[in-house]
Amino acid sequence: MIFAPLASLAGIAIVTAVLAVFGPRFGIGSINAILGGGFIALLASIGSFAVMGVRHLRKLERLSNSDALTMLPNRRALHRDISEIMSPDQEVALAIVDLDGFKIINDHYGHILGDATIKEIARIIRNICGEDANLYRLGGDEYAILMSGELAGTLLEGHCRRIIERLAKSIKIDDRRLTLGASIGLARNAPGQQLSSSETLRRADVAMYASKRGGKMRCTWFNEAFDRSREQIKLLDDELRQALALGQFRMHYQPLVDSTTRKIVSVESLLRWDRPDGKAVGPNTFIPVAEESGLINPIGLWVLRQACCDALEWKGVTLSVNISAAQLRNPEFPIQLGHILEETGFDPELLELEITETCLVLDPVVAERSLNLIRGFGVSVALDDFGTGYASIGFLRQFRFQKLKLDRSLVVQASKDESSRAMMLSSITMAQAMKMSVTAEGVETLEQADMVRAAGCDQIQGWLYFKAMPADEIKQHLGKRIDVVDAGENDGREAKVA
């Protein structure tokens, strides 16, 4: 627009010159009159274009600071606002909200529904935060919330917890009910600190990824230790890739004992990592890293294939393999499972896949579709770690599990107080009514074993009977009644493979 008045000036100059030469022939006034008229026209033109230019620039400024979909302020506006409100005598707090499971909605339902979801989430967050906080859309499925003033951090954390609580429930988009989650990172700029807008945003982003690694559906404050941790995670990810390529993983198996016959009826596969440096790194440490990087998919397939090969030696014994949320969300996983069963020749009716409640909560529609395909092979599905999360009776009915595994924490608490025992008993009764078998995990004392046996558990798993062992040690225990002597409480606990 800046060239418009100049173009107008050039045009008027040409017209004026032509009229000056040929005007008198046609009775047109003097050059002074012509020039005077041209000058006035020029001023009017320049004024008109100037007004248009200012309006246009203001419109461009608004657009450059706004998100086109939600009309919320964008990342550029956030940087501007942080810089403007930064003050040595007040606190500034920032939260980054990243949706869990949004990509699946886009992939399966299309971008129109995805866009509608983005706008609805923006409305929900705005209603929760009110006018006390500034809301931004950073792009994709990320939002930011900015607050300043006394107790800004405390107030913002309260808003974030209410956001997570709300997103734990389904939201209605058109005629569909969708379940999302949120991982939130928080960073504060304390009075006198005055971090740059880029650093404040980076810290909130780092904290958000810490929430994702911690299991999602949570909010986490930035800690300077996170920066050191990120370097370690990157190193660990590189080492995991090398470990998979060089064959450094191996399998151990923990037997499950029938509560009546006291014989082994099933084994659960557990991943171990033989590092060249001998350093012990457990699955609880490296599996979350593999999930974040996407490496869990090839590692998980290796586990499944190796476990099926090993279990061919144990006739009639069910093999249980843990499946991560990332694997279950992968649309190719059921196909890959079918290929592995065909390659190994393992009986699908002896294979049981264990999934946790978290795998299902983030996208129940996709999970149900995958589980139906998996059951089509004859493979059974167990719900692991029951009693630690979100599962309800309706949830259990929807997914039709063949087995319910009571989490160790529920078993331990049930041996100590009546309320936890009542919860355990009601869970077992519910599972039996739904034709599910029940396994008690983490049983470590005879007292606990007697309790879960009397409560109606079908299988018992825990260090009281067996710790995890290499594949070549399993066969010697098969077909034998397992009688144990209680050695007392054991604080150890087996880590699960994803």
Q: Find the helix or strand (DSSP H, E) in which 163 lies.
A: helix 152-167
- pLDDT band at 1; cut points 50, 70, 90: very low
Q: Is 234 helix (H, G, I), strand (E, B) or coil?
A: helix
To the nearest whole number, what is the mean pLDDT of the chain? 85
Is 405 within 8 Å of 459 (Cβ atoms)?
no
Q: Residue 221: enclosing H or E segment and its boundaries?
A: strand 218-221
The correct answer on CATH 3.30.70.270 for the domain covering 75-223 is yes
Q: Which amino acid is at 42?
A: L
Is the alpha carbon torsion for 188, 190, 195, 196 positive or negative?
Answer: positive
3-state secondary structure of 178: strand
The three-point CA angle 485-488-490 to 5° equals: 115
In whole angstroms, what is the distance from residue 360 CA to residue 68 CA?
33
Residues with Cβ within 8 Å of 458's Cβ and at least 6 positions away in sequence, in order, are 258, 259, 437, 438, 439
Kindly report whether the global pTM for this prediction surpasses the value 0.95.
Answer: no
Q: Residue 287 carries which side chain, given as an amino acid letter?
A: I
Give the confidence band of 193 by pLDDT, cuts at 50, 70, 90: confident
| Partners of 66 in the β-ladder | 73
| 3-class secondary structure per residue, 297-335 | HHHHHHHHHHHHHHHCCCCCCEEEEECCHHHHHCCCHHH
| Domains of the chain, residue spans | 4-64, 75-223, 237-477
Q: Is the CB of residue 232 less than 8 Å from the CB of residue 289?
A: no
Averaged over 347-356, what is the pLDDT?
Answer: 96
- Cβ burial, residue 98 (10 Å; 0-12/13-18/19+): buried
Strand partners for 96: 144, 185
| Secondary-structure class of domain 237-477 per CATH | alpha beta
pLDDT band at residue 183 using 50, 70 and 90 as cut-offs:
very high
Tens-place pLDDT, residues 442-452: 999 999 999 99
Q: Cβ contacts of residue 490 below 8 Å, gap of 6+? A: 444, 463, 464
In the Cβ-directed half-sphere of 223, how many Cα atoms lie within 13 Å? Answer: 10
With cut-offs at 50, 70 and 90, classify the pLDDT of residue 486: very low
Q: Report the C-alpha gap between 67 and 75 in whole angstroms.
A: 9
Our CA dihedral for 323, 326, 329, 335, rounded to 10 degrees, sits at: -60
- pLDDT score, position 6: 47
Tens digit of each residue's pLDDT (9 = 90 or more) over 243-268: 999 999 999 999 999 999 999 999 99
310: pLDDT confidence band, cut at 50, 70 and 90?
A: very high
200 C-beta neighbours (distance < 10 Å), count: 25
Tokens read off for 76: 């550029």
Rg (CA), the chain: 32
Residue whose token pair is 């039709």: 400
The answer to whether 179 and 362 are in contact (CB under 8 A) is yes
Q: How far apart are CA 318 and CA 380, in angstroms?
A: 10
Contact 105, 52 (CB under 8 A): no
